[in-house]
Chain A
């Protein structure tokens, strides 16, 4: 039921925005909405072209890393550390993958759901982690690529700390809400 409501709401938002914004602009502010739209839309293509080299650089590195199997090793190394905190080891691969690749992290979460069920503690924890972390490398490549900034200074460090804090926050809140 909730899901239908959520899906219905999501499909309404975009058409309503596309209708609502120009209607307001035209009716209340007498803006020449069509010309205004075209003027803004002109930049779309250049941005796409500008981010391409940045995306290729980062996605190739991530793609190679995934194909090599290095993530399995990283999981093996980190397992004892997270286990010491009581964090379920099963949730580690999808959490580690999240900053690198959203689709891969979702695939790993899907595996967890199949193995342990979406309503298990691990299943819920993985869900919350996916919702409170982000594909940091992709966002950075696109955002800084679009304005040709090459030195990103402390952004990566700050973003990864934020991702880790999302995982920690997810774990703590799940312990409070979902553990019997």
Chain B
């Protein structure tokens, strides 16, 4: 992450030198910082609402029920996590919300899952294998109905805006499988190195 972060910034500044876009880059730095804070604040409302709701679901045993239903899948994805750990409940809720396309609900539940995974993490400063797997799975954009892109297509006058749903699900399943294989391979490969080695 250190190298990637530096690379992004270096690429920006070097390009700006050649393209003469330095004023834009300078502006963008301040504007993006402000946007980031707005985003974080904007998350707070939905986060508070769904964390509250999540606690009710947990106290009533609904979360555990969902986690139990998904247990075979979780054994494969997160073998380090004990089978009755609350992390699995939160992960199940996060996947559920993502599948339903509830982005605002998915984030608080995902963060709750990260918190729970952190309680199992021996080194609190570096990511555990379960965390890496969990976050990498997000990149396959687990979603049954891509609502945003369908509205965008409709707005552009598509004859059948939702015709891409099946194709999207297939592509998503494929990239999910890749996420699992890649994360497991990395975990095995890094397992041979001493724990906590910087990546």
Interface 1/0s, chain A 136-180, versus B by CB < 8 A? 100110111011111111111111111101101110011001100
A149 vs B130: C-alpha distance when bound (angstroms): 13
Contact residues of A between 66 and 80, Cβ < 8 Å to B: 66-70, 73
A110 vs B148: C-alpha distance when bound (angstroms): 11
Which chain B residues border A127 with CB–CB below 8 Å? 146, 149, 152-153, 164, 168
> In whole Å, how far is A44's beta carbon from the nearest beta carbon of chain B?
3
A142 vs B60: C-alpha distance when bound (angstroms): 28
Place the interface of chain A in its size category.
Answer: 35 or more
Cβ-closest chain A residue relative to B43: A48
User: Given known contacts A31-B60, A41-B55, A174-B167, is B162 in contact with A130 (CB within 8 Å)?
Assistant: no
> In whole Å, how far is A132's beta carbon from the nearest beta carbon of chain B?
4
Asked if A152 and B32 sit within 8 Å, CB to CB, the answer is no
- Name the one of A52, A130, A140, A158 contacting B37, with C-beta atoms under 8 angstroms: A52
User: Given known contacts A21-B60, A31-B60, A154-B132, is B12 in contact with A48 (CB within 8 Å)?
Assistant: no
Which chain B residues border A39 with CB–CB below 8 Å? 52, 55
Interface 1/0s, chain B 25-40, versus A by CB < 8 A? 1011101110111011
Given A40-B51, A131-B141, A143-B135, 7 more A-B residue pairs with CB atoms under 8 Å apart are A52-B37, A64-B32, A118-B161, A152-B199, A153-B127, A158-B179, A160-B139
Show 23 residue pairs from A and B whose CB-CB distance is below 8 angstroms, ordered by the A residue: A33-B56, A37-B52, A41-B48, A41-B51, A44-B51, A45-B44, A52-B37, A61-B9, A62-B32, A63-B31, A69-B16, A119-B160, A123-B153, A131-B164, A132-B140, A134-B141, A140-B1, A154-B199, A159-B135, A162-B175, A166-B175, A169-B170, A173-B167
Residue ranges of A at the interface with B (Cβ–Cβ < 8 Å): 2-3, 6-7, 10, 13-14, 17-18, 21-22, 24-25, 28-29, 31, 33, 36-45, 47-49, 51-52, 55-70, 73, 99, 106, 109-110, 113-114, 117-119, 123-124, 127-134, 136, 139-140, 142-144, 146-163, 165-166, 168-170, 173-174, 177-178
